[in-house]
């Protein structure tokens, strides 16, 4: 069963119904939230190039991995499963993003889309609001967060972990040190999710270096970096 997607991320916390089915009067939920801007940005950083359709993660494979980890309802697993993708939509990209949104919905994901009116617009608070809503409407058994943003997520995620929720952070190891070093959070590199990418990414991971070592290419031109430094000195 999939949790009701009509509850909006910015809705007020749901009043608990002690008569509802499931442990503690609420159904046990496994929830996945995907920070689309963060994952896309960090993917570009990891591979040193703008992501293409071939280098982006496969949402159908992610869904299969997530549902597989939810177990069987009534046998210690989750009663409900829900996966949500959160995205800012710049006005100039509405047409190109429409097909992407429809593809996500066809894979079973709910999509929360918000207009991006300023460069610093962030979707993180909407994600945290929705997690809070589900923590009230369900027994949050497992929370899987696709984001490398420790600034906004570390404290609330660790708080949930202390309260008994299994919290899994899925991101790239290069940018998610907050999760990989936490004693409370479980960390999974996205590329370790079976089938997440059609082909291996062009990256060198420090946590899985070859015995003979490997080169890590620059992600920015040396001349560009020097020019940036020079402009700051003269500003």
How does pLDDT run across 75-91, given as a tens digit for each residue?
A: 889 999 999 999 988 77
Q: Kindly report which listed range (53-62, 131-140, 200-209) carries the lowest average pLDDT score.
A: 200-209
Residue 165's pLDDT band (cuts 50, 70, 90):
very high
Q: What is the pLDDT of residue 13?
A: 37
68: how many CB neighbours lie within 10 A of its CB? 9
Give the CATH H-level superfamily of domain 23-205: 5'-nuclease (3.40.50.1010)
- Residue whose C-alpha is closest to residue 137's, from 34, 6, 28: 28
Q: What is the pLDDT of residue 115?
A: 85
- What is the torsional sign of CA 66, 72, 73, 77? negative
Percent pLDDT > 90 in the chain is 50
- Does the pLDDT value for residue 96 go beyond 50? yes
What would the pLDDT profile of 119-161 be if each residue is shown by its tens digit?
A: 666 789 999 999 999 999 999 999 999 998 888 899 999 999 9
Please state, in angstroms and rounded to a whole number, the distance separating the CA atoms of residues 212 and 226. Answer: 31
- Does the pLDDT value for residue 103 go beyond 90? yes
What would the pLDDT profile of 104-116 be if each residue is shown by its tens digit?
A: 999 999 999 988 7
How does DSSP assign the chain, residue by residue?
-B--TTS-TTSPPPPP-TTSSSGGGS-EEEEEEEEHHHHHHHHHHHHTS---TTTS--HHHHHHHHHHHH--TTTTS-SEEEEEEEEEE-GGGHHHHHHHHHHHHHTT-EEEEEE--STT---HHHHHHHHHHHHHHSEEEEEEEE---HHHHHHHHHHHHHTT-EEEEEE-TTT-HHHHT-SS-EEEEGGGSTTSSSS--S---GGG--TT------SS-HHHHHHHHHHHHH-
Q: What is the pLDDT of residue 28?
A: 94
Q: What is the pLDDT of residue 188?
A: 95
- Does the pLDDT value for residue 30 go beyond 60? yes
- Does the pLDDT value for residue 5 go beyond 50? no
Q: What is the pLDDT of residue 174?
A: 86
Task: Specify the higher pLDDT residue, 5 or 171.
Answer: 171
Q: What is the pLDDT of residue 202?
A: 83
Residue 202: both structure tokens together:
């062009």
Domain boundaries, the chain: 23-205
Whether the model clears a pTM of 0.85, i.e. scores above it, the answer is no
Q: Kindly report which listed range (1-10, 132-141, 160-169) carries the lowest average pLDDT score.
A: 1-10
């Amino acid at each position: 069963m999939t949790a009701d997607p009509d509850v909006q991320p910015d809705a007020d916390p749901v009043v608990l119904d002690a008569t509802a089915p499931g442990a503690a009067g609420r159904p046990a939920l496994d929830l996945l939230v995907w920070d689309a801007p963060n994952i896309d940005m960090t993917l570009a950083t990891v591979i040193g190039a703008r992501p293409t359709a071939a280098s982006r993660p496969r949402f159908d494979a992610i869904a299969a991995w997530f549902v597989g980890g939810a177990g069987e309802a009534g046998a210690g697993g989750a009663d409900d499963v829900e996966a949500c993708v959160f995205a800012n939509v710049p006005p100039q990209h509405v047409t190109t993003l429409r097909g992407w949104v429809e593809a996500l919905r066809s894979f079973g994901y709910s999509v929360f889309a918000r207009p991006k009116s300023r460069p610093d617009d962030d979707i993180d608070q909407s994600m945290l609001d929705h997690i809070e809503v589900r923590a009230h409407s369900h027994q949050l058994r497992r929370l899987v967060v696709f984001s490398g943003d420790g600034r906004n997520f570390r404290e609330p995620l660790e708080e949930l972990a202390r309260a008994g929720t299994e919290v899994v952070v899925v991101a790239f190891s290069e940018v998610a040190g907050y999760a990989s070093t936490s004693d409370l959070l479980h960390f999974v590199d996205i590329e370790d999710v079976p089938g997440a990418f059609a082909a291996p990414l062009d990256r060198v991971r420090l946590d899985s270096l070859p015995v003979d070592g490997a080169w890590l290419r620059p992600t920015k031109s040396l001349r560009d970096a020097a020019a940036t430094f020079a402009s700051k000195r003269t500003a």
